[in-house]
Amino acid sequence: MDIATVIGLALGLALMLLGVVSGGLALTDLIDIPSVMITFGGAAAATIISFPWTSTIGVGAVTKKAFQNPPSDLPGLITTLVSFSEKARREGLLALEDDINELPEEFLKKGIQLVVDGTDPELVRNIMETEIGNTATRHAYGRSWWDAYAGFAPGFGMLGTLVGLVGMLKNLGGGDASAIGQGMATALITTLYGSLAQNLFAAPIVRKLTRRSEDELVIKQVMVEGTLSIQSGDNPRIVKEKLASFLTPAERTALKDDGD
């Protein structure tokens, strides 16, 4: 589980509730069912309209990725690619065929298999980078559901505010103080709900999913460069230095400690 996502959400809610209590309000003062229906329900309905039903059905699986911390061992991947480079220079590219099935990543398997099959290097690059582009497009489409929700939520919050004001003004002449207060509460709380839905949940989820996508694409790009370096017969030390450019300084140090 990604502890940063959980801590961020919990901290945001806790600080907001603490601010409410410190301001002399009760937590029940922020609970208004009509406001929930107008803001959260309205934003969800508009988002559902904007996408095919399959996208809405699959949004749970997409959202789950923001709460997961996928294993990523980029230094280990580079070490594997360097070892493949050493073996290819020593025994030839065909010697890598026995190692392909042991690779956990299908994308890398495909790349190494293309190399072993003698595919032209430019075609290998085109095939792998096309898949990277399609992966990026698929990721962008997956997170666009929450991106749309983040855009709709404040608007429905304002819509709820207008509904509340209409109710308040309608009862203003009748002198019904409770009705006026209920209308005013709906008017204000819906704006709060809209901002909360956008800024504490939907927009951060989009950013986290974007980061997940960027991390995955970097890993795939390392695989592309490593595969092509193996195919071209580059010196393993050169392969290592080239791929190490994708690492952070701390990861580069760990890579040197493991390899030297």
Tens-digit pLDDT profile for residues 103-120: 888 999 999 999 999 899
Global pTM value: 0.84
* pLDDT at residue 35, as a whole number: 86
pLDDT at 250 > cutoff 80: no
* pLDDT at residue 179, as a whole number: 61
pLDDT at 49 > cutoff 90: yes
Higher pLDDT, 6 or 177: 6
For the residues 7-31, what does the mean pLDDT come to? 84
The C-alpha torsion from 183 through 187 and 188 to 190, rounded to 10°, is 120
Inter-residue contact 213 to 140 (CB < 8 Å): yes
pLDDT confidence of 174, banded at 50, 70, 90? low
Inter-residue contact 117 to 231 (CB < 8 Å): no
Q: Compute φ and ψ for 171, nearest 5 degrees.
A: -95, 0
Concatenating the DSSP letter of every residue in 98-130 gives HHHTT-S-HHHHHHHHHHHTT--HHHHHHHHHH
pLDDT at 144 > cutoff 90: yes
For the residues 124-129, what does the mean pLDDT come to? 94
pLDDT at 256 > cutoff 70: no
For the residues 44-59, what does the mean pLDDT come to? 94
Sign of the Cα torsion 164, 170, 172, 175 reads negative
Inter-residue contact 100 to 122 (CB < 8 Å): no
Report the amino acid identity of residue 54.
Answer: T
pLDDT confidence of 11, banded at 50, 70, 90? very high
pLDDT confidence of 203, banded at 50, 70, 90? very high
* Distance, CA of 102 to chain centre: 28
Q: Compute φ and ψ for 2, nearest 5 degrees.
A: -80, 105
The single-letter DSSP state of residue 51 is S
Average pLDDT for the chain = 87
pLDDT at 82 > cutoff 70: yes
pLDDT confidence of 152, banded at 50, 70, 90? very high
* pLDDT at residue 177, as a whole number: 61
pLDDT confidence of 47, banded at 50, 70, 90? very high
pLDDT at 121 > cutoff 80: yes
Tens-digit pLDDT profile for residues 21-30: 887 777 777 8
Helices 236-244, 74-91: inter-axial angle, 10-degree rounding: 160
3-state secondary structure of 174: coil
